[in-house]
Structure 1
């Protein structure tokens, strides 16, 4: 029988995977910046002056932090899923899951940063920089390229975490299933309801923020030289979105929830986000003819402002309602 200490360590594996993910991500970014900014390196002073600009480092750090949080949430989900499906006793017998996860995830990040990333950038420059596509579609081509690039990077992030978790959590062929009752008796960590709400909020907020960054909304709204305004713009909305989606996820579960089933929470976040986007688009498309059919330019401008103003209270309302509805539907078998 597996000891209680081993079972307790197994239940800490989700937290450990999340911390390892953050540590590897931060270490790789620090290494990358250190290599660029090291005194004596070519263009180090120019790169330092460029990174010192608020409109460079604020969106960059916001983008990195959202990617880190999402990767950590997915890593936590893989480990928690293994615990709930296979039992802590089985997971406790895995040989060196921490080291295997860290090694595979580091290799995946290195391949992304130094192989796939430069390849995608060169492909982007070849297709859109000065090409006929940019001449025909203009700014829409540039925005579309940024969205596609972010989508590819998101897929790479998800696959990197999945591969590292699969290697780390793969059980030996002859491994016993373990004592499930003892494993459940020593379960540790936050309450399942709080874990579900947090996971829903983290995934929802990080994906929403990445969509904003891909569309490069901040450049048209905030003064690029105002560091405080940029910090508020890129840091404030994700926190508000996190709070709203957490509330919806909390309302979508119940106090009697005994299992997290993390990938149901991830699915709830994605479905709710798609639902919010679709609802806002429908409202805008339905309201747009009212603006177009206005008799004067002034009335059309007022109609557009009123339409956008209506979306401001609608978005938080939809976020809470849809996250609650989707979460409740997906977790109904466990409530």
Structure 2
């Protein structure tokens, strides 16, 4: 029996949404950097000199990697969720879904790159030496700059999430209209494609690792760029923890090999990763504060290797909590499907 071409095209929608979103983001990033760095002007020369510092370009690439991981995971999730909730036949009715999705996503990125980013830069200038608020904050200037950076990261993360949601919603408008006329929709098993269990673990791990990288970048912006640290050291500092976290979250999000899970319900995996991430951060902060309090009460000295032991213990705790909490939240959210 010959497969319906429109159905086959609909089944490729999750992968296509992910490729379209990341590809357009990459294209706009390249254009933006070319406009910024290529002109033969003094300003472009200063920017090239600044971006030559390893601490600057490595953090830039880390931020882009974080964005692309989250964008790919969320884009894939939106399309897969539509296939499971509305059915392949209804999603196939939205023949121009890819064009709609790409158009709305480009508008969201233009808003982020060319409207929000310049506004944030102007706001940061107000806190710099000589700025309007520099004298107001005085010695707490770095704190105020750090808060502004964190707020910028939060808002830009929100733009990514809402932009993808709006793009997917407009792209799949026709399929939802068709679904509204159906008497009853039941969760549909999507033929072919990724294994549901592997897809759940991949989405959870990607979101968790992306959030960790995002939080690391937000915290790192409190400090000035490191100009005396080698590029290989910085790359190792940013890349290795992200890869280890991805592997640990994937392990925690793996739902086993028993039969029974036929659908992905990707936003349950997203919710699991976000919940686990917040719980891990809260748990580590509480335990670290309690440890420091007990150490101070016992007059414990952090010298002679005490700091190294404390950091290593905290890293091991973070790794263990990542696996345990991702596993707990994932199994709790998918309990009805197992």
User: Do the aligned partners of 1:70 and 1:202 also contact (CA within 8 Å) in 2?
Assistant: yes
1:312 counterpart residue number: 315
Change (3 A) 1:206 1:72: same
Alignment gaps of 5+ in structure 2 = none
TM (normalized to structure 2)? Answer: 0.89
* Alignment equivalent of 1:159, drawn from 134, 145, 162: 162
Query: What is the correspondence of 1:70-89 to structure 2 with a 5 Å cutoff?
Result: 70-89=70-89
TM (normalized to structure 1)? Answer: 0.90
CA distance, structure 1, for counterparts of residue 227 and residue 184 of structure 2 = 57
Cα distance, 1:308 vs structure 2: 2.6
Query: What is the correspondence of 1:94-109 to structure 2 with a 5 Å cutoff?
Result: 94-109=94-109
1:326 counterpart residue number: 329
CA distance, structure 2, for counterparts of residue 173 and residue 191 of structure 1 = 25
CA distance, structure 2, for counterparts of residue 185 and residue 267 of structure 1 = 21
CA RMSD of aligned residues (A): 2.8
Cα distance, 1:38 vs structure 2: 2.3
User: Do the aligned partners of 1:291 and 1:301 also contact (CA within 8 Å) in 2?
Assistant: no
Cα distance, 1:178 vs structure 2: 7.8
User: Do the aligned partners of 2:207 and 2:270 also contact (CA within 8 Å) in 1?
Assistant: yes
Change (3 A) 1:49 1:121: closer
Change (3 A) 1:8 1:330: same
* Alignment equivalent of 2:279, drawn from 264, 275, 278: 275
2:250 counterpart residue number: 246
User: Do the aligned partners of 1:196 and 1:262 also contact (CA within 8 Å) in 2?
Assistant: yes
In structure 2, the residue corresponding to 1:43 is in which secondary structure?
helix
1:123 counterpart residue number: 123
Of the structure 1 ranges 210-219 and 227-236, higher mean CA displacement relative to structure 2 is found in 210-219
Give the aligned length: 331
CA distance, structure 2, for counterparts of residue 128 and residue 266 of structure 1 = 37
User: Do the aligned partners of 1:84 and 1:259 also contact (CA within 8 Å) in 2?
Assistant: yes
CA distance, structure 2, for counterparts of residue 186 and residue 325 of structure 1 = 26
Are 2:265 and 1:258 aligned? no
Of the structure 1 ranges 46-55 and 304-313, higher mean CA displacement relative to structure 2 is found in 304-313
Change (3 A) 1:146 1:255: farther
Cα distance, 1:152 vs structure 2: 0.8
Are 2:298 and 1:285 aligned? no
User: Do the aligned partners of 1:37 and 1:47 also contact (CA within 8 Å) in 2?
Assistant: yes
Cα distance, 1:49 vs structure 2: 2.5
Change (3 A) 1:221 1:311: farther
1:32 counterpart residue number: 32
In structure 1, the residue corresponding to 2:263 is in which secondary structure?
coil
CA distance, structure 2, for counterparts of residue 5 and residue 266 of structure 1 = 31
In structure 2, the residue corresponding to 1:83 is in which secondary structure?
helix
Alignment gaps of 5+ in structure 1 = none
CA distance, structure 1, for counterparts of residue 190 and residue 320 of structure 2 = 39
Change (3 A) 1:260 1:266: same
Cα distance, 1:118 vs structure 2: 1.1
User: Do the aligned partners of 2:196 and 2:264 also contact (CA within 8 Å) in 1?
Assistant: yes
Change (3 A) 1:133 1:170: farther
Change (3 A) 1:80 1:211: same
User: Do the aligned partners of 1:12 and 1:188 also contact (CA within 8 Å) in 2?
Assistant: no
User: Do the aligned partners of 2:128 and 2:141 also contact (CA within 8 Å) in 1?
Assistant: no
CA distance, structure 2, for counterparts of residue 222 and residue 136 of structure 1 = 22
Of the structure 1 ranges 136-145 and 208-217, higher mean CA displacement relative to structure 2 is found in 136-145
1:19 counterpart residue number: 19
Cα distance, 1:140 vs structure 2: 2.5
